[in-house]
Amino acid sequence: MFVVGVTGGIGSGKTTVTNLFQQHDIVVVDADVIARHIMDKGGEALAAVSDRYGQQALFEDGTLNRAWLRERIFQHPEDKQWLNELTHPLIRQQILTQLQQAQSPYVILSAPLLVENRLTKLCDRVLVVDVSEATQLERTQQRDDVSADQVQSIMNAQASREQRLQAADNIINNEADEAQLVTQVEKLHELYLRLALAKRS
């Protein structure tokens, strides 16, 4: 399978871009969605959390109290490490399964932390959706109704714009309006079709 990793900082336009690839019938595997589902009821990750912390980590219906866990790992760095060691291999495995099952000429792996979590190793090409930090702040605030400080602290926890661009094989500049994305995605789609075909033959 030919895998194109799509990444970009918060509010850069990853979802907007991957939706356009989906319109070309390309399967998109979303690492964020997988990360959320890893803690679903009945799964081994939730069982491990419940073994470690007991009832305080759960709601009465047995689902995870995400706010409690977020606060816990914020206060206790060793718990954050434990949680990462628990969840990262499970997330990676689920990503691999979904990539293998994908039925399209190539497949997209969309992950905000593609570079930070070394998921680039799973990718044949890395596509970075790039905007200035000012644009990230403006669009995220418009979308989520959050303060500039909140967005800035998430940006600080992510790779820098330069680090991401260093990992890029292709770059989509998303400073202009959404209409200009369509042609950029079309050109890249044609390129990835050709590269995927070349890999198969």
Positions in the binding site for ligand ATP (CB under 6 A)? 8, 10-16, 112, 139-140, 143, 174, 177-178
Q: Cα(178)–Cα(65) distance, rounded to whole angstroms? A: 36
Q: In the complex with ligand ATP, which residue's Cβ is closer, 60 or 177?
A: 177
Q: Give every CB contact of residue 151 below 8 A, 6+ residues apart in sequence.
A: 10, 11, 136, 137, 140, 141, 144
- Identify whether the C-beta of residue 40 lies closer than 8 Å to the C-beta of residue 144: no
Please state the closest distance from residue 32 (CB atom) to ligand ATP, in A. 7
Please state the closest distance from residue 30 (CB atom) to ligand ATP, in A. 10
Please state the closest distance from residue 108 (CB atom) to ligand ATP, in A. 13
DSSP for 75-120, please give it.
H-HHHHHHHHHHHHHHHHHHHHHHHHH--SSSEEEE-TTTTTTTGG
Q: In the complex with ligand ATP, which residue's Cβ is closer, 16 or 152?
A: 16
Please state the closest distance from residue 91 (CB atom) to ligand ATP, in A. 16
Please state the closest distance from residue 136 (CB atom) to ligand ATP, in A. 8
Q: In the complex with ligand ATP, which residue's Cβ is closer, 65 or 135?
A: 135
Q: Give every CB contact of residue 97 below 8 A, 6+ residues apart in sequence.
A: none
Please state the closest distance from residue 11 (CB atom) to ligand ATP, in A. 4
Q: In the complex with ligand ATP, which residue's Cβ is closer, 105 or 110?
A: 110
Q: In the complex with ligand ATP, which residue's Cβ is closer, 50 or 135?
A: 135
| Gyration radius from the chain CA atoms | 18
Instruction: Name residue 161's amino acid.
Output: R
Q: Which residues of 149-187 are buried (b: 16+ CB within 10 A; e: fewer)?
A: eebeebbeebbebeebeebbeebbebeeeeeebeebbee
Give the pair of three-digit tokens for residue 164. 């991401």
Q: In the complex with ligand ATP, which residue's Cβ is closer, 16 or 50?
A: 16
